[in-house]
Amino acid sequence: MTEVIGAPMRATGPVAWARRHFFATWYDAIFSVILGALIIWSFNALISWAFLDAIWTVENKDQCDHGAGACWAVIQDRGRLILFGLYPYEEQWRSTLACLIVIVTMVLSCLPSFWSIRRIPILWTVGFGLFILLMRGGFAGLPLVRSEQWGGLSLTLFIFCGVFILGMPLAVLLALGRRSSLPVIAKGTGLFIDLFRSLPLLTILFAAAVVVPLLVPEQIQGSKLSRVIIAFAVFFAAYQAEIIRAGMQSTSQGQEEAAVALGMPYWSLVMDILLPQAFRNTLPSTINQAVITFKETSIVTIIGFFEVMASGNAAIGSGEWGNQYVEVYVFLALIYFVFVFGLSRYGSWLETRMRLGHA
């Protein structure tokens, strides 16, 4: 008879689990206690500040300075400024509606059922077109609001989406150009990409906003906002092109050969075979690039646009609410967090979905 030796018994239950993970050695125990206390203390402090001791409404601003917690009344008072910037007060419903439309468009284009060469452009032409019409007005009794007056969250979203819509196709073209078998095109696009990647974004945007009007005839200058978005898109495209190129290179040579041998035309090889695989292969980097771009939209403040960050600064800059800057920044952080966290969750959902083979 052979003696059967079972696996060593492992104690189960929460106590045993905690012992294994947090109190395995004496120094583990010390770190666990100290860190545990810190976490509980800060969580407690945060809850008290943000909720328990917080003041939600005030009759008079002085009340705010005497409370122990946050004074959210500032958001009530200045929320519209933060969300809409300098957009005319009576017309702010348009800005809200435009934001909702563009958010719905963003969400829809994230759904795999919309991923086709026909649906995505139609969706964005309609969504983005409605956004611009609503924001700009000047028809059907809607007063004209020039892009210089746009501000707040809708401006942030407008810049982000504009950069993405223009930048993504450009990135694809640049990536294809860099892979071209014609040396002139390959070297030319390579130089273009490297040039824009080696310049700081701020310099590029400044040049678009300030230098271009000095060099280009007025008729074709376009508005300052459109110039800035185009320049930002080129900058984005230079980075995204390299991501896409890496994605195309990581699809095996065999994919291209199979498509060629089957007699599929070049455009179909690119649109049906290479690009879908390139985007799938580089999804984490693409999401990363989108997140960076979303956060970098705040840089347009420098050239005089009141996107959501600048509007937030304006809300506390007037002095009345000068002491409530923490509340305003927390509010701003939450806005950014919602979008960026949504993007990264979406990214990991897609990755899981693709690992399972459906896409």
The H-or-E segment that residue 200 falls in is: none
**Rounded Cα gap, residues 341 and 157, in angstroms:** 15
Looking at the Cβ atoms of 116 and 125, the one nearer to another protein is 116
**Rounded Cα gap, residues 122 and 114, in angstroms:** 10
Quick check: 249 binds another protein (CB under 8 A)?
no
Quick check: 263 binds another protein (CB under 8 A)?
yes
* HSE of 122, CA atoms in CB hemisphere, 13 A: 6
Q: Return the ∠ at Cα 16 (arms to 15 and 22), rounded to 5°.
A: 85
Q: How far is CA 102 from CA 135, 158, 196, in A?
A: 11, 8, 28
Site for another protein (CB under 8 A): how many residues? 21
Cβ at position 270, least distance to another protein in Å: 11
Quick check: 120 binds another protein (CB under 8 A)?
no
Stretch that binds another protein, among 42-50, 117-125, 247-255, 329-337 (CB under 8 A): 247-255
Quick check: 182 binds another protein (CB under 8 A)?
no
Q: According to CB under 8 A, which one of 133, 207, 246, 359 is a site residue for another protein? A: 359
Considering only residues 277 through 306, tell me which ones interact with another protein, judged by CB under 8 A. 277, 280
Looking at the Cβ atoms of 238 and 275, the one nearer to another protein is 275
Stretch that binds another protein, among 60-68, 179-187, 224-232, 251-259 (CB under 8 A): 251-259
Tell which residue, 202, 104, 205, 99, has the closest CA to residue 153.
99
Quick check: 260 binds another protein (CB under 8 A)?
yes
Binding track, positions 193-232, relative to another protein; x by CB under 8 A: ----------------------------------------
* HSE of 156, CA atoms in CB hemisphere, 13 A: 27
Looking at the Cβ atoms of 10 and 358, the one nearer to another protein is 358
Query: Using an 8 Å Cβ cutoff, are 205 and 232 in contact?
Result: yes
Amino acid (one-letter) located at 222: G
Q: How far is CA 67 from CA 71, 99, 253, in A?
A: 8, 34, 66
Residues at the site binding another protein, with contacts judged by CB under 8 A: 252, 254-255, 257-265, 268, 272-273, 276-277, 280, 357-359
